[in-house]
């Protein structure tokens, strides 16, 4: 895994960190693919809970890097680009803009510092990936529409009132606050935690963009699989393929 997204593990708690502070953690292809690999590692490994945070003090993330945009931003979003059955906690500080909020939206718990400001300006910029529309299933409809359409700042207290975050902590303490939740989850019954998360995700409606991204991820997994390569090779060699389910 590259240094732009790091993964560390301690006492069954995974710490996933975006390390692009010099660019306010703007998300380019390296960040998105680093997150994707981190979610895959978390899902496949023994860690029971993950905390997502970002380096530097200026921003959790200002969203997609407009000068170097990722190819498919959804690939870095937990439970969309990668199936994640275990809980994810967001530890958020200062600016969280655009696509960065889409990632936070898919976290199961969110701890925000008191200087946090959420913002979704895509309607004012003239483009959207559409994943933000799932906000209407996670916070009250009118507040979701205000957040999505007006592009205005949602400071930490407003986000707490809207249900976008679980807890506000003083500046510099988001990671510590997230650890409080993580330690509880790390010693909780994993089958119960995963079952309740799975049932919850199954209960929440999915926007068309979210459903399409999940379908796209699964189709890409088939087309890039070993069986896919074997099928194409066998066709070219005029022989029966030897599929292995991989």
Where along the chain do its domains lie?
5-237
Among the CATH numbers 3.90.226.10, 3.40.50.11540, 3.40.640.10, 3.10.150.10, which is that of 5-237? 3.90.226.10
pLDDT band at residue 217, thresholds of 50, 70 and 90?
confident
- What number is the average pLDDT over the span 15-35? 97
* Predicted pLDDT of residue 90: 98
pLDDT value at position 231? 83
Judge whether residue 59 has pLDDT over 60. Answer: yes
pTM confidence score: 0.90
Grade residue 223 by pLDDT with cuts at 50, 70 and 90: confident
Do 136 and 145 form a contact (C-beta atoms < 8 A)? yes
In 114-172, DSSP assigns E strands to 117-119, 154-155, 167-169
Rounded to whole angstroms, the Cα distance separating 139 from 7 reads 30
Mean pLDDT of 45-52: 98
Phi and psi torsions of 77, nearest 5°: -95, 125
């Amino acid at each position: 895994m590259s240094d732009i997204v790091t993964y560390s593990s301690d006492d069954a708690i995974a710490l996933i960190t975006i390390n692009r502070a010099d660019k306010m953690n703007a998300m380019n292809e390296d960040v998105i693919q680093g997150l994707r690999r981190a979610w895959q590692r978390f899902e496949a490994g023994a860690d029971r809970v993950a905390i997502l945070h970002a380096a530097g003090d200026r921003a959790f993330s200002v969203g997609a890097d407009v000068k170097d945009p990722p190819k498919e931003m959804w690939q870095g979003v937990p439970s969309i680009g990668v199936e994640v059955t275990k809980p994810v906690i967001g530890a958020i500080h200062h600016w969280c803009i655009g696509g960065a909020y889409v990632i936070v939206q898919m976290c199961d718990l969110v701890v925000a510092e008191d200087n946090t400001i959420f913002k979704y300006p895509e309607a004012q910029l003239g483009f959207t990936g559409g994943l933000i529309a799932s906000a209407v299933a996670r916070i009250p409809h009118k507040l979701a529409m205000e957040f999505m359409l007006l592009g205005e700042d949602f400071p930490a207290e407003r986000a707490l009132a809207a249900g976008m975050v679980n807890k506000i902590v003083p500046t510099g303490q988001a990671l510590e606050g997230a650890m409080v939740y993580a330690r509880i989850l790390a010693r909780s019954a994993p089958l119960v935690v995963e079952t309740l998360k799975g049932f919850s995700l199954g209960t929440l409606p999915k926007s068309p963009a979210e459903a399409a991204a999940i379908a796209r991820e699964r189709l890409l997994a088939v087309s890039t699989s070993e069986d896919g390569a074997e099928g194409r090779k066998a066709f070219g060699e005029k022989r029966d393929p030897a599929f292995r389910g991989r």
